[in-house]
Structure 1
Amino acid sequence: MKNVLIINGHQRYDQVAEGNLTKMYIASASEFFKKNNFNLKHSVVESDYNIKDEVEKFVWADYILLQYPVYWMGVPWITKKYIDEVFSAGDHNGLYINDGRSRSDATKRYGSGGLMQGTKYMISLTYNCPASEFSAKDGFFDGLSLDEANIATHKTFQFCGAEPLETYSVHDIFKGDLDMNSELEKFAKVLEKNFI
Protein backbone atom coordinates (compact mmCIF):
# COMPACT_ATOMS: atom_id res chain seq x y z
CA MET A 1 0.00 0.00 0.00
CA LYS A 2 1.14 3.54 -0.78
CA ASN A 3 1.24 6.30 1.82
CA VAL A 4 -0.32 9.70 1.18
CA LEU A 5 -0.17 12.84 3.32
CA ILE A 6 -2.94 15.40 2.81
CA ILE A 7 -2.11 18.89 4.03
CA ASN A 8 -4.89 21.36 4.77
CA GLY A 9 -3.20 24.68 3.96
CA HIS A 10 -6.24 26.84 4.68
CA GLN A 11 -6.17 29.93 6.86
CA ARG A 12 -9.52 31.09 8.16
CA TYR A 13 -10.92 34.58 7.70
CA ASP A 14 -14.43 34.93 9.14
CA GLN A 15 -17.16 35.50 6.54
CA VAL A 16 -14.59 35.55 3.71
CA ALA A 17 -12.70 32.27 3.87
CA GLU A 18 -14.11 29.89 6.46
CA GLY A 19 -12.49 26.77 4.99
CA ASN A 20 -15.56 24.92 3.76
CA LEU A 21 -14.31 24.60 0.18
CA THR A 22 -10.91 23.33 1.33
CA LYS A 23 -12.62 20.82 3.63
CA MET A 24 -14.84 19.66 0.75
CA TYR A 25 -11.82 18.95 -1.45
CA ILE A 26 -9.96 17.20 1.37
CA ALA A 27 -13.01 15.04 2.13
CA SER A 28 -13.29 14.13 -1.55
CA ALA A 29 -9.58 13.28 -1.76
CA SER A 30 -9.71 11.27 1.48
CA GLU A 31 -12.62 9.21 0.15
CA PHE A 32 -10.72 8.62 -3.11
CA PHE A 33 -7.56 7.47 -1.32
CA LYS A 34 -9.41 5.19 1.10
CA LYS A 35 -11.37 3.62 -1.78
CA ASN A 36 -8.07 2.95 -3.56
CA ASN A 37 -6.35 1.42 -0.52
CA PHE A 38 -3.85 4.16 0.31
CA ASN A 39 -2.58 4.65 3.85
CA LEU A 40 -3.63 8.15 4.79
CA LYS A 41 -2.39 10.82 7.19
CA HIS A 42 -3.55 14.42 7.56
CA SER A 43 -1.90 17.67 8.58
CA VAL A 44 -3.60 20.98 9.30
CA VAL A 45 -1.42 24.08 9.14
CA GLU A 46 -3.85 26.10 11.25
CA SER A 47 -3.39 23.90 14.30
CA ASP A 48 -1.00 23.28 17.17
CA TYR A 49 1.11 20.84 15.15
CA ASN A 50 4.34 19.26 16.36
CA ILE A 51 7.16 20.10 13.93
CA LYS A 52 9.05 16.82 14.49
CA ASP A 53 5.86 14.81 13.89
CA GLU A 54 5.21 16.77 10.69
CA VAL A 55 8.72 16.01 9.37
CA GLU A 56 8.12 12.32 10.09
CA LYS A 57 4.88 12.45 8.07
CA PHE A 58 6.79 13.82 5.06
CA VAL A 59 9.42 11.07 5.39
CA TRP A 60 6.62 8.46 5.64
CA ALA A 61 4.72 9.73 2.59
CA ASP A 62 5.06 8.37 -0.92
CA TYR A 63 2.65 11.08 -2.07
CA ILE A 64 1.70 14.52 -0.76
CA LEU A 65 -1.45 16.45 -1.59
CA LEU A 66 -1.27 20.12 -0.59
CA GLN A 67 -4.70 21.77 -0.67
CA TYR A 68 -4.87 25.52 -0.14
CA PRO A 69 -6.58 28.75 -1.18
CA VAL A 70 -4.40 31.23 -3.04
CA TYR A 71 -4.21 34.43 -0.99
CA TRP A 72 -2.56 37.44 -2.58
CA MET A 73 -0.86 35.33 -5.27
CA GLY A 74 0.63 32.72 -2.94
CA VAL A 75 0.13 30.37 -0.02
CA PRO A 76 -1.61 31.77 3.08
CA TRP A 77 0.98 33.14 5.50
CA ILE A 78 0.26 30.42 8.04
CA THR A 79 0.97 27.82 5.35
CA LYS A 80 4.26 29.57 4.57
CA LYS A 81 5.06 29.47 8.31
CA TYR A 82 4.32 25.72 8.34
CA ILE A 83 6.55 25.17 5.31
CA ASP A 84 9.37 27.24 6.81
CA GLU A 85 9.22 25.43 10.16
CA VAL A 86 8.74 21.89 8.90
CA PHE A 87 11.06 21.98 5.91
CA SER A 88 13.80 23.71 7.92
CA ALA A 89 13.51 20.96 10.56
CA GLY A 90 13.85 18.42 7.73
CA ASP A 91 17.52 19.36 7.24
CA HIS A 92 19.48 16.12 7.80
CA ASN A 93 16.17 14.57 8.96
CA GLY A 94 14.87 13.03 5.75
CA LEU A 95 13.86 16.01 3.60
CA TYR A 96 17.24 17.32 2.45
CA ILE A 97 20.90 17.04 3.41
CA ASN A 98 22.09 20.43 2.16
CA ASP A 99 21.55 22.75 -0.80
CA GLY A 100 23.34 20.26 -3.08
CA ARG A 101 26.55 22.15 -3.82
CA SER A 102 29.96 20.77 -2.94
CA ARG A 103 33.36 22.43 -2.66
CA SER A 104 34.95 19.20 -3.91
CA ASP A 105 32.59 18.68 -6.87
CA ALA A 106 31.69 21.76 -8.91
CA THR A 107 29.20 19.77 -11.01
CA LYS A 108 26.80 19.53 -8.06
CA ARG A 109 24.20 22.26 -8.44
CA TYR A 110 22.16 24.31 -6.03
CA GLY A 111 18.88 22.59 -5.21
CA SER A 112 20.19 19.05 -5.70
CA GLY A 113 20.57 18.04 -2.04
CA GLY A 114 17.04 16.74 -1.53
CA LEU A 115 16.30 13.39 0.09
CA MET A 116 12.69 13.03 -1.10
CA GLN A 117 13.52 11.28 -4.38
CA GLY A 118 10.64 9.03 -5.32
CA THR A 119 8.12 11.16 -3.41
CA LYS A 120 5.50 12.81 -5.61
CA TYR A 121 3.34 15.78 -4.75
CA MET A 122 0.21 17.45 -6.06
CA ILE A 123 -0.97 20.96 -5.35
CA SER A 124 -4.69 21.69 -5.45
CA LEU A 125 -5.67 25.34 -5.46
CA THR A 126 -8.79 27.42 -4.95
CA TYR A 127 -8.81 30.80 -6.70
CA ASN A 128 -11.10 33.78 -6.98
CA CYS A 129 -9.54 34.79 -10.32
CA PRO A 130 -10.80 33.23 -13.57
CA ALA A 131 -8.74 30.53 -15.30
CA SER A 132 -8.53 32.79 -18.37
CA GLU A 133 -5.95 34.99 -16.59
CA PHE A 134 -3.32 32.25 -16.93
CA SER A 135 -1.31 31.51 -20.08
CA ALA A 136 -2.68 34.66 -21.72
CA LYS A 137 -0.24 37.38 -22.86
CA ASP A 138 -2.72 40.09 -21.93
CA GLY A 139 -3.82 38.31 -18.74
CA PHE A 140 -3.14 39.44 -15.19
CA PHE A 141 -0.29 36.92 -14.85
CA ASP A 142 1.51 38.25 -17.97
CA GLY A 143 1.33 34.97 -19.85
CA LEU A 144 2.44 32.75 -16.95
CA SER A 145 0.81 29.34 -16.72
CA LEU A 146 -0.90 28.22 -13.52
CA ASP A 147 2.21 26.30 -12.45
CA GLU A 148 4.55 29.16 -13.34
CA ALA A 149 2.45 31.52 -11.22
CA ASN A 150 2.87 29.09 -8.29
CA ILE A 151 6.58 28.49 -8.82
CA ALA A 152 7.57 29.09 -5.17
CA THR A 153 5.51 26.11 -3.98
CA HIS A 154 6.89 23.90 -6.75
CA LYS A 155 10.50 24.95 -6.10
CA THR A 156 10.15 24.20 -2.38
CA PHE A 157 9.28 20.59 -3.14
CA GLN A 158 11.87 20.37 -5.93
CA PHE A 159 14.58 21.57 -3.53
CA CYS A 160 13.81 18.51 -1.40
CA GLY A 161 13.85 16.16 -4.41
CA ALA A 162 10.09 15.57 -4.78
CA GLU A 163 8.46 15.31 -8.20
CA PRO A 164 5.34 17.22 -9.29
CA LEU A 165 2.09 15.66 -10.39
CA GLU A 166 -0.58 17.51 -12.37
CA THR A 167 -1.91 20.57 -10.56
CA TYR A 168 -5.65 21.02 -10.00
CA SER A 169 -7.32 24.40 -9.59
CA VAL A 170 -10.85 25.72 -9.25
CA HIS A 171 -11.59 29.33 -10.23
CA ASP A 172 -14.14 32.09 -9.70
CA ILE A 173 -15.06 30.68 -6.32
CA PHE A 174 -16.93 33.84 -5.26
CA LYS A 175 -18.82 34.28 -8.51
CA GLY A 176 -21.93 32.50 -7.23
CA ASP A 177 -22.56 30.08 -10.08
CA LEU A 178 -19.83 27.55 -9.31
CA ASP A 179 -20.99 24.03 -10.17
CA MET A 180 -19.33 22.08 -7.36
CA ASN A 181 -20.52 18.68 -8.63
CA SER A 182 -18.78 19.34 -11.94
CA GLU A 183 -15.67 20.66 -10.21
CA LEU A 184 -15.43 17.66 -7.90
CA GLU A 185 -15.74 15.38 -10.95
CA LYS A 186 -12.80 17.23 -12.56
CA PHE A 187 -10.87 16.92 -9.31
CA ALA A 188 -11.56 13.15 -9.18
CA LYS A 189 -10.23 12.77 -12.73
CA VAL A 190 -6.99 14.56 -11.82
CA LEU A 191 -6.63 12.39 -8.70
CA GLU A 192 -7.15 9.25 -10.79
CA LYS A 193 -4.61 10.40 -13.39
CA ASN A 194 -2.03 11.30 -10.72
CA PHE A 195 -2.38 8.42 -8.28
CA ILE A 196 -3.77 5.35 -10.07
Structure 2
Amino acid sequence: MKNVLILNGHQYYPNIAEGKLTQLYIDTAEAFLQSKGFNVKHAKAESNYNALEEVEKFKWADFFIIQYPVYWMGVPWMMKKYIDEVFSAGANNGIYANDGRSRSDATKHYGSGGLMQGKKYMLSLTYNCPTSEFSNKEGFFDGLSLDEANIATHKTWQFCSATPMQTYSVHDIFKGDLNIEAQKAKFIAVLSQNFLG
Protein backbone atom coordinates (compact mmCIF):
# COMPACT_ATOMS: atom_id res chain seq x y z
CA MET A 1 0.00 0.00 0.00
CA LYS A 2 2.43 2.62 -1.23
CA ASN A 3 0.70 4.18 -4.24
CA VAL A 4 -0.79 7.67 -3.95
CA LEU A 5 -2.87 9.49 -6.56
CA ILE A 6 -2.98 13.27 -6.10
CA LEU A 7 -6.04 14.77 -7.75
CA ASN A 8 -5.81 18.44 -8.68
CA GLY A 9 -9.38 19.73 -8.60
CA HIS A 10 -8.49 23.37 -9.25
CA GLN A 11 -10.35 25.39 -11.86
CA TYR A 12 -8.59 28.43 -13.28
CA TYR A 13 -9.99 31.95 -13.04
CA PRO A 14 -7.61 34.78 -14.03
CA ASN A 15 -6.58 37.16 -11.25
CA ILE A 16 -8.79 35.34 -8.72
CA ALA A 17 -7.83 31.67 -8.69
CA GLU A 18 -4.78 30.91 -10.80
CA GLY A 19 -3.89 27.64 -9.08
CA LYS A 20 -0.58 28.62 -7.47
CA LEU A 21 -1.64 27.72 -3.93
CA THR A 22 -3.18 24.44 -5.07
CA GLN A 23 0.03 23.57 -6.92
CA LEU A 24 2.16 24.46 -3.90
CA TYR A 25 0.25 21.92 -1.80
CA ILE A 26 0.49 19.29 -4.54
CA ASP A 27 4.25 19.83 -4.86
CA THR A 28 4.66 19.70 -1.08
CA ALA A 29 2.67 16.47 -0.82
CA GLU A 30 4.59 14.85 -3.66
CA ALA A 31 7.99 15.74 -2.19
CA PHE A 32 6.96 14.50 1.27
CA LEU A 33 5.48 11.23 0.01
CA GLN A 34 8.35 10.40 -2.32
CA SER A 35 10.82 11.04 0.51
CA LYS A 36 8.94 8.41 2.53
CA GLY A 37 9.01 5.79 -0.23
CA PHE A 38 5.55 6.29 -1.74
CA ASN A 39 4.87 6.13 -5.46
CA VAL A 40 2.96 9.17 -6.73
CA LYS A 41 0.81 9.76 -9.78
CA HIS A 42 -1.25 12.80 -10.69
CA ALA A 43 -4.69 13.51 -12.09
CA LYS A 44 -6.01 16.92 -13.10
CA ALA A 45 -9.68 17.78 -13.42
CA GLU A 46 -9.13 20.74 -15.75
CA SER A 47 -7.35 18.82 -18.49
CA ASN A 48 -7.96 16.85 -21.66
CA TYR A 49 -8.23 13.53 -19.81
CA ASN A 50 -9.44 10.17 -21.04
CA ALA A 51 -11.93 8.80 -18.49
CA LEU A 52 -10.89 5.15 -18.87
CA GLU A 53 -7.21 6.03 -18.52
CA GLU A 54 -8.05 7.97 -15.37
CA VAL A 55 -9.90 4.95 -13.97
CA GLU A 56 -6.68 2.96 -14.22
CA LYS A 57 -4.99 5.50 -11.95
CA PHE A 58 -7.72 5.02 -9.35
CA LYS A 59 -7.34 1.25 -9.57
CA TRP A 60 -3.54 1.60 -9.15
CA ALA A 61 -3.72 3.87 -6.10
CA ASP A 62 -3.99 2.82 -2.46
CA PHE A 63 -4.43 6.41 -1.26
CA PHE A 64 -5.88 9.59 -2.72
CA ILE A 65 -5.23 13.23 -1.92
CA ILE A 66 -7.99 15.43 -3.30
CA GLN A 67 -6.64 18.97 -3.47
CA TYR A 68 -9.01 21.76 -4.47
CA PRO A 69 -10.27 25.25 -3.68
CA VAL A 70 -13.79 25.36 -2.28
CA TYR A 71 -15.94 27.32 -4.75
CA TRP A 72 -19.46 28.27 -3.68
CA MET A 73 -19.42 25.73 -0.83
CA GLY A 74 -18.39 22.78 -2.97
CA VAL A 75 -16.00 21.42 -5.57
CA PRO A 76 -15.28 23.48 -8.70
CA TRP A 77 -17.57 22.43 -11.54
CA MET A 78 -14.67 21.04 -13.57
CA MET A 79 -13.93 18.76 -10.61
CA LYS A 80 -17.58 17.69 -10.44
CA LYS A 81 -17.51 16.95 -14.18
CA TYR A 82 -14.31 14.93 -13.75
CA ILE A 83 -15.80 12.84 -10.94
CA ASP A 84 -19.05 12.30 -12.87
CA GLU A 85 -17.23 11.11 -15.97
CA VAL A 86 -14.38 9.13 -14.40
CA PHE A 87 -16.35 7.44 -11.64
CA SER A 88 -19.09 6.53 -14.13
CA ALA A 89 -16.43 5.00 -16.37
CA GLY A 90 -15.33 2.99 -13.33
CA ALA A 91 -18.65 1.15 -13.02
CA ASN A 92 -17.78 -2.55 -12.55
CA ASN A 93 -14.22 -1.44 -13.24
CA GLY A 94 -12.52 -0.74 -9.92
CA ILE A 95 -14.59 2.17 -8.62
CA TYR A 96 -18.08 0.83 -7.89
CA ALA A 97 -20.25 -2.15 -8.83
CA ASN A 98 -23.70 -0.80 -8.00
CA ASP A 99 -25.49 1.16 -5.29
CA GLY A 100 -25.20 -1.78 -2.90
CA ARG A 101 -28.85 -2.78 -2.57
CA SER A 102 -30.12 -6.27 -3.38
CA ARG A 103 -33.64 -7.56 -3.98
CA SER A 104 -32.60 -10.89 -2.50
CA ASP A 105 -30.83 -9.51 0.60
CA ALA A 106 -32.51 -6.69 2.54
CA THR A 107 -29.44 -6.29 4.78
CA LYS A 108 -27.48 -4.77 1.90
CA HIS A 109 -27.85 -1.01 2.12
CA TYR A 110 -27.60 1.86 -0.31
CA GLY A 111 -24.02 3.06 -0.69
CA SER A 112 -22.38 -0.29 -0.04
CA GLY A 113 -21.56 -1.30 -3.61
CA GLY A 114 -18.17 0.37 -3.90
CA LEU A 115 -15.02 -1.36 -5.11
CA MET A 116 -12.46 0.81 -3.28
CA GLN A 117 -12.38 -1.28 -0.11
CA GLY A 118 -9.09 -0.81 1.75
CA LYS A 119 -8.31 2.46 -0.04
CA LYS A 120 -8.13 5.77 1.83
CA TYR A 121 -8.65 9.39 0.81
CA MET A 122 -7.65 12.77 2.20
CA LEU A 123 -9.36 16.06 1.44
CA SER A 124 -7.05 19.07 1.29
CA LEU A 125 -9.04 22.28 0.92
CA THR A 126 -8.28 25.95 0.35
CA TYR A 127 -10.88 28.41 1.63
CA ASN A 128 -11.56 32.11 1.72
CA CYS A 129 -13.78 31.76 4.80
CA PRO A 130 -12.23 31.78 8.30
CA THR A 131 -12.08 28.71 10.53
CA SER A 132 -14.43 30.48 12.97
CA GLU A 133 -17.38 29.74 10.67
CA PHE A 134 -17.16 25.99 11.40
CA SER A 135 -18.33 24.20 14.56
CA ASN A 136 -19.99 27.45 15.60
CA LYS A 137 -23.78 27.66 15.95
CA GLU A 138 -23.56 31.39 15.24
CA GLY A 139 -21.33 30.84 12.20
CA PHE A 140 -22.25 30.70 8.54
CA PHE A 141 -22.38 26.89 8.50
CA ASP A 142 -24.93 26.71 11.37
CA GLY A 143 -22.69 24.71 13.68
CA LEU A 144 -21.46 22.21 11.08
CA SER A 145 -17.86 21.06 11.36
CA LEU A 146 -15.50 21.38 8.41
CA ASP A 147 -16.11 17.76 7.41
CA GLU A 148 -19.87 18.04 7.88
CA ALA A 149 -19.91 21.11 5.62
CA ASN A 150 -18.17 18.99 2.95
CA ILE A 151 -20.46 15.97 3.31
CA ALA A 152 -21.26 15.69 -0.40
CA THR A 153 -17.58 15.22 -1.27
CA HIS A 154 -17.08 12.74 1.55
CA LYS A 155 -20.13 10.72 0.55
CA THR A 156 -18.97 10.55 -3.07
CA TRP A 157 -15.80 8.74 -1.97
CA GLN A 158 -17.55 6.67 0.67
CA PHE A 159 -20.12 5.50 -1.91
CA CYS A 160 -17.13 3.88 -3.61
CA SER A 161 -16.07 2.32 -0.25
CA ALA A 162 -12.99 4.52 0.31
CA THR A 163 -12.22 5.45 3.93
CA PRO A 164 -11.54 9.06 4.99
CA MET A 165 -8.33 10.23 6.58
CA GLN A 166 -7.87 13.50 8.46
CA THR A 167 -8.86 16.55 6.41
CA TYR A 168 -6.50 19.50 5.96
CA SER A 169 -7.74 23.01 5.23
CA VAL A 170 -6.23 26.47 4.93
CA HIS A 171 -8.42 29.55 5.48
CA ASP A 172 -8.55 33.29 4.84
CA ILE A 173 -6.39 32.87 1.77
CA PHE A 174 -7.26 36.33 0.38
CA LYS A 175 -6.52 38.35 3.53
CA GLY A 176 -2.93 39.00 2.46
CA ASP A 177 -1.29 37.83 5.68
CA LEU A 178 -1.20 34.08 5.00
CA ASN A 179 1.89 32.54 6.60
CA ILE A 180 2.54 29.93 3.98
CA GLU A 181 5.50 28.35 5.76
CA ALA A 182 3.41 27.82 8.90
CA GLN A 183 0.59 26.39 6.80
CA LYS A 184 2.98 24.04 4.99
CA ALA A 185 4.21 22.80 8.36
CA LYS A 186 0.60 22.08 9.42
CA PHE A 187 -0.02 20.34 6.10
CA ILE A 188 3.05 18.13 6.52
CA ALA A 189 1.91 17.29 10.06
CA VAL A 190 -1.44 16.08 8.67
CA LEU A 191 0.32 14.13 5.90
CA SER A 192 2.53 12.51 8.56
CA GLN A 193 -0.49 11.54 10.63
CA ASN A 194 -2.35 10.16 7.63
CA PHE A 195 0.43 8.32 5.88
CA LEU A 196 2.93 7.45 8.62
CA GLY A 197 0.80 7.41 11.79
Distance (Å, rounded) in 1 between the aligned partners of 2:114 and 2:161? 4
1:12-54 CA distances to partner (integer Å, 9 max, x unpaired)?
0000000000000000000001101111100111110110011
Q: Which residue in the other structure is 2:179 paired with?
A: 179
Find the aligned partners of 1:34 and 1:28 in 2 and give their Cα distance. 10
2:35 paired residue number:
35
Tell me what 2:72 maps to.
Answer: 72
Structure 2 CA distance for aligned equivalents of residues 134 and 86 of structure 1: 31
Letter in 2 for 1:20: K
Distance in 2 (CA, whole Å) between partners of 1:60 and 1:154 is 21
- In the other structure, the counterpart of 2:194 is 194
Looking at structure 2, the residues matched to 136 and 185 of structure 1 have their Cα atoms a distance apart, in angstroms, of: 26
- Percent identity of the aligned residues? 70
Q: C-alpha displacement at 1:147, in angstroms?
A: 0.3
Match of 1:12 in 2: 12
Residue aligned with 1:94, SS = coil
What TM-score comes out, normalization by structure 2 length?
0.99
User: Aligned with 2:102: secondary structure?
Assistant: coil
CA displacement 1:76-114 (0-9 Å, x = unmatched): 000000000011111100111100000000110000001
Deviation at 1:165, TM superposition (A): 0.1
Quote the Cα distance in structure 1 between the aligned partners of 2:182 and 2:12: 25
Corresponding residue number in structure 1 for 2:160 = 160
**In the aligned structure 2, how far is the partner of 1:94 from the partner of 1:16?**
36
2:146 is aligned to 146
**Matching residue of 1:95:** 95
Give the CA deviation at 1:154.
0.3
Letter in 2 for 1:82: Y
Partner amino acid, structure 2, of 1:123 = L
Q: How many residues align?
A: 196
Query: What is the aligned partner in structure 1 of residue 108 from structure 2?
Result: 108
Structure 1 gap ranges (5+): none
User: How far apart, in 1, do the equivalents of 2:32 and 2:50 lie?
Assistant: 27
**Cα separation, 2, equivalents of 1:152 and 1:87:** 15
Shift of 1:131: 0.4
Unmatched 5+ stretches in structure 2: none
The corresponding residue for 1:60 is 60
| Corresponding residue SS for 1:58 | helix
2:137 paired residue number:
137
Amino acid at match of 1:147: D
TM-score, scaled relative to structure 1: 0.99
Counterpart amino acid of residue 29 in structure 1: A
Determine helix, strand or coil for the equivalent of 1:102.
coil
